Amino acid sequence: MEPSKPEEGAVVDLVDAILRDGVVLQADVIISVADVPLIGLKLRAA
């Protein structure tokens, strides 16, 4: 059995769908030591 090469069209279709529909990423990160929050980050990309 030969390994199959991924189709290049799949990447183009993925990029097209992202550009057409848009993507929103959101993350909340809290870094704490011994249950004491030291750093809090809120990230959002649209």
pLDDT digits (tens, 9 = 90+) for 7-16: 667 778 877 8
> If we measure between CA atoms, which residue out of 20, 41, 43, 15 comes closest to residue 29?
41
> How confident is residue 24, by pLDDT bands cut at 50, 70 and 90?
confident
pLDDT computed for residue 15 by the predictor? 78
Please tell me the distance from the alpha carbon of residue 5 to that of residue 32, in angstroms, as a whole number: 44
**Beta-strand pair 36-45/25-33:** antiparallel
pLDDT at 38 over 80: yes
* CB-based contacts of 32, cutoff 8 Å, min separation 6: 38
> If we measure between CA atoms, which residue out of 32, 33, 4 comes closest to residue 41?
32
pLDDT computed for residue 8 by the predictor? 66
